[in-house]
Amino acid sequence: MDRSGVSSSSPNNTSSAALLLGRQFKQMQTDKDIPGISCGLVGNSVFEWEVMLMLSDEQDSLYGGGIFRTHLTFPPTYPHLPPTLRFLTPIFHPNVYPSGEVCISILHPPEEDKYGYESAAERWSPVQTPETILLSVISMLSSPNDESPANIEAGKLWREDRKEFKRLVRKCVRDSMETGWD
């Protein structure tokens, strides 16, 4: 319940989240400012998007040339709480759990970090949009945070054996080109 005594998952909040997501989805469909990102709905639910990240070879990233399918799942309380983003295409990265779920500050709930790694300003804020999330994830791919890796092996290789890390990432990119559209 919020301060007014209304449940945060009331039908009004869900319908306002659906209206906002509908507008944001339409914006993503028509926005040509972010090349390499294609969005579609999973089923007919505006709360679950399939997003293709088609990373250009020109981007300053080891993941350039990769085609990665992801799901962006929004809670009924969006934009007050963050969505989750999960890679469906296998990806080897310090900030992506083996399950594919992304661990990035802006997708963490807007509360104090009990471990002290993130400031409140780095965490989710209702001003974030699907576009800012996806741009942050693309940026994360080129600049991993290895302080608290979601994938321990990837974090360790990133720090200690860049050559092996790059080899595994390039394999992941090659594999994604074969399976990215499946």
Tell me which of 85, 103, 157, 172 is the catalytic residue.
103
Q: Provide the pLDDT confidence category of residue 99 given band limits of 50, 70 and 90.
A: very high
Neighbouring C-beta atoms of residue 11, cutoff 10 Å? 9
Higher pLDDT, 126 or 5: 126
Strand ranges across the sheet with 84-87: 37-42, 45-54, 67-73, 84-87
pLDDT attached to residue 181: 54
- C-alpha closest to that of 125 among 109, 143, 136, 142: 109
Q: What are the boundaries of each domain within the chain? A: 11-136+145-179
Rounded to an integer, the average pLDDT of 107-120 is 72
SS3 call for 37: strand
Q: Per residue in 10-55, pLDDT tens?
A: 445 668 999 999 999 999 988 776 778 999 999 989 999 999 999 9
Higher pLDDT, 113 or 137: 137
Which structure tokens are listed for 164?
A: 């092996």
* Single pTM value for the model: 0.85
Q: Which phi and psi angles does 43 have, rounded to 5°?
A: 65, -135
* Least confident range of 7-21, 64-78, 151-165: 7-21
pLDDT attached to residue 145: 87
Q: Is it the case that residue 6 has pLDDT exceeding 80?
A: no
* Least confident range of 63-77, 78-92, 114-128, 140-154: 114-128
pLDDT attached to residue 92: 97
Rounded to an integer, the average pLDDT of 66-73 is 96
Q: Is 65 exposed, middle or buried (0-12, 13-18, 19+ CB in 10 A)?
A: middle
11-136+145-179 — its CATH code?
3.10.110.10
- What is the rounded average pLDDT for all residues in the chain? 86
Which structure tokens are listed for 44?
A: 């007919």
* Least confident range of 25-34, 56-65, 110-119, 137-146: 110-119
Q: Which helix (H) or strand (E) holds 140?
A: helix 130-142
Higher pLDDT, 56 or 121: 56
Please say if 172 is a catalytic residue. Answer: no
